[in-house]
């Protein structure tokens, strides 16, 4: 068998037992195996050191003339082998980067995943996931708030800084804003795991973790209201209500003489700022004023 064909089959891992022996007998076999060994070691670094790639590349293209004599077709074969492996590594780096989706203030978006699962992303939120590994690892990292409609299949994980939500196929909402972490299950079953708690939620259940305090309860609606352009709160600190107003209306809120830890239950719409401010201020007996530019001031009534 010609040496070129033997090397090509070796690169494709398609050698028979006899052909493997013939390849091992080649003068340059250790050279090619060294390339593969370096490539495997480099991939295992899991993107931790980009400098390793440059070192590896320099090592590939630098040879000691005292050790090797390149004659005839051998230089071309070595260059071809190096090119194949470098192409594979560059593909690994260029196309294995996670997909990231972000929303701005007052913006929502819907993402359809490869398995027909859907993610609706609320304002000022971000998700990231690896499309190339989706068939074997359905995992999404979330910062902010999102509603998930998960197609049946392998385990589906939503990873946040406060906890991980795992499901097989269901509908649920996850909100992680600072130390406020909330999961609401609307269909099926979900498992919530944090540093100190593990909770199984059935349809209609919710789980909340705020400043280390855990609470469970029942959903007031059959779907998250923010997907309907309404923000609903049930005994939520008013600081989080103010923050949601900022996200949905792209405004800055300042406040005076207000206990931001007091709890608020209510709803505001996303289509009219004045109406939304009134919906929050009246139940709490607050006064509000719209300032320029894009600033709202809340004050406690004397």
First to last CA, the chain: 95
Q: Which of 262, 271, 260, 200 is nearest to 230 (CA)?
A: 271
DSSP-assigned beta bridge partners for residue 298: 255, 288
Point out the least confidently predicted range of 26-35, 69-78, 255-264.
69-78
Identify the band that residue 85 occupies on the pLDDT scale cut at 50, 70 and 90.
low
**Parts of the chain belonging to CATH 3.55.50.30:** 229-300
Tokens of 244: 């949601």
Residue 141 pLDDT greater than 80, yes or no: yes
Q: Give, in order, the Cα–Cα distances in Å from 43 to each of 56, 96, 136, 157, 285.
A: 11, 12, 18, 24, 60
What pLDDT digit, counting tens, does each position of 183-223 carry? 999 999 999 999 999 999 999 999 999 988 999 999 999 99
Tokens linked to 16: 């028979």
In sequence order, which residues have a C-beta less than 8 Å from that of residue 264 and are 6 or more positions away? 233, 235, 236, 237, 238, 241, 280, 283, 284
- Distance from C-alpha of 115 to C-alpha of 83, rounded to nearest angstrom: 34
- The total of other beta-carbon atoms located within 10 Å of residue 139's CB is 17
Does domain 100-218 sit in CATH 2.60.120.1440? yes
* Cβ–Cβ under 8 Å, residues 119 and 150: no
d(CA 109, CA 103): 7
**How far is Cα of residue 2 from the mean position of the Cα atoms in its chain?**
48
The CATH classification of domain 229-300, taken from the options 3.40.50.300, 3.30.230.10, 3.30.70.2740, 3.55.50.30: 3.55.50.30
Backbone angles phi, psi at 183, to 5 degrees: -125, 130
The rounded distance, in Å, linking the Cα atoms of 300 and 302 is: 6
Q: Which residue has the tokens 């071309």?
A: 76
Long-range contacts (CB closer than 8 Å, 24 or more residues apart) made by 289-293: none
Question: Could you give the angle at the alpha carbon of 84 between the alpha carbons of 71 and 81, nearest 5°?
Answer: 20
Mean pLDDT of the region 21-33: 77
Whole-angstrom CA distances from 207 to 124, 140, 217, 257 are: 22, 19, 7, 31
Span 224-249, average pLDDT: 97
Inter-residue contact 158 to 148 (CB < 8 Å) = yes
**pLDDT tier at 32, thresholds 50, 70, 90:** low
Q: In 3D, which of 77, 71, 142, 75 has the Cα closest to residue 103? A: 142
* Residue 68: per-residue pLDDT: 45
Q: Taking the CB of residue 40, how many other CB atoms lie within 10 A of it?
A: 9
3-state secondary structure of 148: strand
In this prediction, residues 119-132 reach a mean pLDDT of: 97
Q: Using CA atoms, how far apart are residues 158 and 193, in angstroms rounded to an integer?
A: 10
Q: Tokens standing for 67?
A: 């050790």
Q: Which pLDDT does position 5 carry in this prediction? A: 74
Chain mean pLDDT for the chain: 84
Return the higher-pLDDT residue of 5 and 107.
Answer: 107
pLDDT of residue 64: 47
> Which residues of the chain does CATH 2.60.120.1440 include?
100-218
- For the stretch 38-67, pLDDT in tens is 555 544 444 434 444 444 445 544 444 444
Does 160 score more than 50 pLDDT?
A: yes
Average pLDDT over residues 137-156: 96
């Amino acid at each position: 068998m010609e040496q070129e064909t033997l090397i090509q089959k070796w690169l494709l891992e398609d050698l028979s037992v006899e052909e493997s022996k013939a390849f091992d007998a080649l003068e340059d076999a250790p050279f090619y195996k060294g390339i593969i060994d370096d490539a495997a070691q480099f991939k295992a670094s899991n993107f931790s050191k980009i400098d390793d790639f440059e070192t590896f590349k320099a090592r590939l293209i630098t040879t000691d003339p005292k050790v090797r004599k390149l004659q005839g077709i051998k230089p071309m074969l070595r260059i071809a082998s190096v090119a194949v492996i470098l192409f594979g590594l560059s593909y690994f780096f260029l196309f294995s980067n996670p997909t990231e989706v972000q929303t701005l203030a007052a913006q929502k978006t819907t993402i359809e995943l490869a398995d027909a699962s859907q993610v609706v992303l609320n304002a000022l939120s971000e998700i990231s996931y690896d499309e190339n590994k989706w068939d074997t690892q359905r995992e999404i990292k979330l910062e902010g708030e999102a509603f998930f409609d998960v197609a049946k299949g392998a385990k589906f994980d939503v990873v946040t800084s406060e906890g991980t939500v795992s499901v097989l196929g269901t509908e649920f909402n996850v909100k992680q804003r600072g130390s406020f972490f909330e999961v609401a299950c609307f269909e099926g079953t979900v498992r919530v795991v944090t540093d100190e708690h593990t909770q199984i939620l059935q349809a209609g259940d919710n789980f909340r973790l705020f400043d280390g305090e855990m609470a469970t309860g029942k959903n007031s609606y059959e779907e998250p209201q923010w997907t309907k352009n309404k923000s609903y709160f049930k005994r939520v600190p008013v600081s989080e209500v103010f923050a949601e107003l900022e996200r949905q209306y792209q405004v800055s809120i300042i406040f005076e003489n207000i206990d931001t830890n007091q709890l608020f239950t209510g709803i505001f719409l996303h289509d009219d700022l004045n109406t939304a401010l009134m919906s929050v201020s009246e139940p709490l007996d607050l006064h509000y004023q719209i300032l320029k530019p894009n600033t709202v001031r809340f004050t406690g009534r004397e």
